[in-house]
A and B are shown apart, each in its own frame.
Chain A
Amino acid sequence: MDKLKILLVDDDEDDRQFFADALEGIELNTELCQLENGKSCMEYLLGDPENTPDLVFLDLNMPIMNGFECLEAIRRTPHLKDLLVAIYSTSSAERDIEETFEKGANIYIKKPSSFTELKKSLKQVVKMNWAYHLNDFKKENFLLKI
């Protein structure tokens, strides 16, 4: 099986590092690309169709173009409208979660405060992603809060 291509969009350097280390730690066959905000994310995605990842992790609170705007832009783009998007944010506010699901997010992960938990969450999501691709799950069955 090909490597699972994961795109992380987060302006926080520490969080990107945690994420990369955790992903490495779960020892699944993945390939990570990191970007700092929604704008660079859209430039990357629209630049080359080859760039389209299997899964996007999107922070909400970012400069230049935030996660909400980026999510809307992704869903407006025809070839990206079915892309799996996981929101990856510190916010646990119910209205943020609702809003991102309304705008087409598939998964909502609250940034954990323990490295072990982070690894656990990522493992879960990556495995689910495989299930999604293998079994052609319906997207609406895939709403997930972690």
Chain B
Amino acid sequence: MLDGMADDFFKKIVDDANAALLYIATSVEGSLKTREFIVKYANHKANKFFTNSSESIKGLPLIQFNNGGEIILLANKVLENQESEVFNISRIEDTDTINYNVKIESFYDGVLITITELQLEYLLDKESKLPLGNIQARTRELEISNLFGVRVLDSNDSIICYLKPILDQKNEIKDFLIDYINNRMGEIANEETELIAGQTILEYYPKNLENGVLGILAECYNTGENKEYTREFIFNDVSIWLSTRAVKMNDGLVLFSKDVTQEKKYEAQLFIQNRLLSEAEHVANIGSFRWNLGKEEIKYSDNVYRLFGFEPNEFDNKYDRLLTFLHPNDLEKVKASFKEARINKAKLDLVFRVYTKSSELRYMNTIGECYQKEGNWYMVGVIRDVTKQIESESVLQIKNSELKRTNADLEAFNRVASHDLQEPLRKIQMFVSRLDEEEQGHLSIRSQQYLDKIKSSSDRMRNLINNLLSYSKVDEVTEQPRRVDLNDVLNNVLEDLGERINDLNATVDSVSLPVVNGIQFQLEQLFANLIGNSLKYVQEGVQPQIKILSSVVNGNTSSVDALLPNINYVKLQFIDNGIGFEEKYQEKIFEIFQRLHGKTEFSGTGLGLSICKKIVQSHNGAILAKGELNKGAEFTIYLPTLL
């Protein structure tokens, strides 16, 4: 242990002592009774005691020297009992009988042996248990080694120096001379150690004045009190933090300094991290806590206090104090959860209401987990202010229930429209048709016109109801999409519209169409509505022409926003030469009940294109309209291709 540490300074101190000082340690982990001891350190007097010369006994087994055997026996005893042993030895040296007092005590991993020559006073005072005279010197030396030992033995990396005060005319300390300094200083400061010794501390490091070091050391010297301080030093532009302990010894000071630069760095990092954490908590409305579950105090981060409307540390951190913030209705719930967590180390996750300092009601969410460390159970966790989330959640719930009501209303409406509205209408139409049949030729021209008006109005109404129904039913389809050949779809529609196409002498030209995934009857309705529109909004004196084109585009390359990237779409274009529409209406025409034309001019319910849009959307596609007044209209449909 002392290897490599027996620097000159230490040697000097112990060599100057009036006692033989010896540190021995077991060489091997042998059986307890036969422990061998190797000399790890011996001062000058110790060498002399055992060898009668100044030859070093360091590193040698103690057994081979005078009195070595008996010391080893007692050293074993000391190690076993952990109690010091004191005994006297008489020796004949140069015809004189000399009495030695030997103290053996456990010291770190080994045994410290102090051997003091007993003086006459002692022999005259045999009754006394207290050693006298030079024993005091021995004790001081022991004190020194005890005092310094901690640092010297423990830390290889300590700077050790010995300073002597320099006094001014008024007998006050103006500086200290560096009488001795070990190599460590040179290593740390990257300088030649030999150059440091001999300088004063102000010569070596002038800032020792302003940083208060000189003052501290002067006080240490004057009062004899030990001093500790930590300062930053800049050596060759490198910042080094030294933590120093100063002890007065004889006519000087012994300084032990440790390089704590790394610790300081970590400390600074920790400080920054703590600040960051604190700010993050602040921003996120989060506080954290740590709770030794065996105790009543909870350690909060600053933001916990702020969450409750307080300044950091403003309220006491007792568990019971926390409970006082709670909304009365949540108190039992929270107590039960915490109890469960404390007893069963259960995970904690609960939302509760609290009243803040200003009596504001806030919702808090606490999440905590338990862990065990050094026999204690702790819970660490966070507290979040979730008031906003809870509030928006409840708004969402209200909206949801409103939506549900709206949906229920819509369903009720559908029922009314499909049955209750249709029934009386059917009766009206039935009676009108009977009236028409029975009174054929008997009605006045005007009455017949009225009857015809009733007929056309009720037809329109039936149409409207049917369209409304199909609009609201687009989403109701439970049928699974399957492969639909659009050529079949087109043929079916053309068959249904055949009569009108013939009447108008219209032409419908189509390229061969692809197969898509979809609901056949909806796609038929889509085609029927689009082609039906083209047959409806025709220009007078122009033969209606309808062209249907088909191609494939990729969502990436298309400029249509509604298309998803990386998906291929079938692009269908329905182009006619009808009355068209103004460009500004190209969005509006898909809105429900939007009619661009007066109902007398063109029949329609204003729902056809809304239904088209709904159908296309439920097929994950898109529909666009393009038109030019009196030139024609073009509807483009995008449907995902088959994979």
In the bound complex, what is the Cα–Cα distance between A90 and B418 (angstroms)? 9
In the bound complex, what is the Cα–Cα distance between A21 and B434 (angstroms)? 10
**In the complex, per-residue mask of A89-108: 1 if CB is within 8 Å of any chain B CB, else 0:** 01101000000000000000
Chain A minimum-CB-distance residue to B438:
A115
Q: Shortest Cβ distance from B473 into chain A, in angstroms?
A: 10
Cβ-based interface call for B275 (8 A): no
Contact of A90 among B423, B433, B462 (CB under 8 A): B423
Q: Shortest Cβ distance from B521 into chain A, in angstroms?
A: 10
Cβ-based interface call for B562 (8 A): no
Point out which of A18, A91, A93, A118 has the most chain B C-beta atoms below 10 A from its C-beta: A18
In the bound complex, what is the Cα–Cα distance between A93 and B422 (angstroms)? 13
In the bound complex, what is the Cα–Cα distance between A40 and B601 (angstroms)? 52
In the bound complex, what is the Cα–Cα distance between A115 and B437 (angstroms)? 8
Cβ-based interface call for B427 (8 A): yes
**In the complex, per-residue mask of B408-446: 1 if CB is within 8 Å of any chain A CB, else 0:** 000000000011001101110110011001000000000
Q: Shortest Cβ distance from A98 into chain B, in angstroms?
A: 13
Cβ-based interface call for A116 (8 A): yes
Point out which of B422, B423, B430, B433 has the most chain A C-beta atoms below 10 A from its C-beta: B430
User: A113 near B462 (CB under 8 angstroms)?
Assistant: yes
In the complex, what residues of A have CB within 8 A of residue B422's CB? 90
User: A111 near B433 (CB under 8 angstroms)?
Assistant: no
Cβ-based interface call for A141 (8 A): no
Contact of A116 among B418, B427, B437, B462 (CB under 8 A): B437
In the bound complex, what is the Cα–Cα distance between A112 and B430 (angstroms)? 8
Chain A minimum-CB-distance residue to B422:
A90
Within 8 A of B (CB), among A14-39: 14, 18, 21
Cβ-based interface call for A114 (8 A): yes
In the complex, what residues of A have CB within 8 A of residue B419's CB? 61, 90-91
Chain B minimum-CB-distance residue to A92:
B418
Known: A90-B419, A91-B419, A113-B462. A14 touches B427 (CB 8 A): yes
Contacts between the two chains (Cβ within 8 Å), count: 31
In the complex, what residues of B have CB within 8 A of residue A115's CB? 430, 433-434, 437
**In the complex, per-residue mask of A111-130: 1 if CB is within 8 Å of any chain B CB, else 0:** 11111101000000000000
Within 8 A of B (CB), among A39-65: 61
Known: A90-B419, A90-B422, A91-B419. A114 touches B427 (CB 8 A): no
Chain A minimum-CB-distance residue to B426:
A113
In the complex, what residues of B have CB within 8 A of residue A114's CB? 429-430, 433
Q: Shortest Cβ distance from B428 into chain A, in angstroms?
A: 8
In the complex, what residues of B have CB within 8 A of residue A112's CB? 426, 430
In the complex, what residues of B have CB within 8 A of residue A113's CB? 425-426, 429-430, 433, 462
Q: Shortest Cβ distance from B79 into chain A, in angstroms?
A: 97
In the complex, what residues of A have CB within 8 A of residue B429's CB? 113-114
In the complex, what residues of B have CB within 8 A of residue A61's CB? 419
In the bound complex, what is the Cα–Cα distance between A93 and B473 (angstroms)? 11
In the complex, what residues of B have CB within 8 A of residue A91's CB? 419
**Taking chain A's interface residues, is the majority helix, strand, or loop, or is none over half, making it mixed?**
loop
Q: Shortest Cβ distance from A26 into chain B, in angstroms?
A: 13
Within 8 A of A (CB), among B442-491: 462
In the bound complex, what is the Cα–Cα distance between A91 and B462 (angstroms)? 14
In the bound complex, what is the Cα–Cα distance between A111 and B298 (angstroms)? 79
In the complex, what residues of A have CB within 8 A of residue B430's CB? 14, 18, 112-115, 118
Q: Shortest Cβ distance from A22 into chain B, in angstroms?
A: 9
In the bound complex, what is the Cα–Cα distance between A61 and B422 (angstroms)? 14
User: B426 near A111 (CB under 8 angstroms)?
Assistant: yes
User: B423 near A116 (CB under 8 angstroms)?
Assistant: no
In the bound complex, what is the Cα–Cα distance between A118 and B434 (angstroms)? 11
In the bound complex, what is the Cα–Cα distance between A4 and B427 (angstroms)? 27
In the bound complex, what is the Cα–Cα distance between A90 and B462 (angstroms)? 13
In the bound complex, what is the Cα–Cα distance between A14 and B423 (angstroms)? 11
In the bound complex, what is the Cα–Cα distance between A113 and B433 (angstroms)? 8
In the bound complex, what is the Cα–Cα distance between A90 and B426 (angstroms)? 9
**In the complex, per-residue mask of A80-93: 1 if CB is within 8 Å of any chain B CB, else 0:** 00000000001101
Q: Shortest Cβ distance from A48 into chain B, in angstroms?
A: 33
In the complex, what residues of B have CB within 8 A of residue A118's CB? 430
In the bound complex, what is the Cα–Cα distance between A21 and B462 (angstroms)? 24
In the bound complex, what is the Cα–Cα distance between A25 and B586 (angstroms)? 52
In the bound complex, what is the Cα–Cα distance between A130 and B461 (angstroms)? 38
In the complex, what residues of A have CB within 8 A of residue B427's CB? 14
Chain A minimum-CB-distance residue to B423:
A90
In the bound complex, what is the Cα–Cα distance between A111 and B419 (angstroms)? 12
Chain A minimum-CB-distance residue to B458:
A113
In the bound complex, what is the Cα–Cα distance between A91 and B433 (angstroms)? 20
* A interface with B by C-beta (< 8 Å): 14, 18, 21, 61, 90-91, 93, 111-116, 118
Those 5 A-B pairs whose CB atoms lie nearest each other, nearest first: A113-B429, A115-B433, A114-B433, A113-B426, A115-B434
Can you name 30 A-B residue pairings with CB atoms under 8 Å?
A14-B427, A14-B430, A18-B430, A18-B434, A21-B434, A61-B419, A90-B419, A90-B422, A90-B423, A90-B426, A91-B419, A93-B418, A111-B426, A112-B426, A112-B430, A113-B425, A113-B426, A113-B429, A113-B430, A113-B433, A113-B462, A114-B429, A114-B430, A114-B433, A115-B430, A115-B433, A115-B434, A116-B433, A116-B437, A118-B430
* B interface with A by C-beta (< 8 Å): 418-419, 422-423, 425-427, 429-430, 433-434, 437, 462
Given A93-B418, A114-B429, 17 more contacts at CB 8 Å? Answer: A14-B427, A14-B430, A18-B430, A18-B434, A61-B419, A90-B419, A90-B423, A91-B419, A111-B426, A112-B430, A113-B429, A113-B433, A113-B462, A115-B430, A115-B433, A116-B433, A118-B430
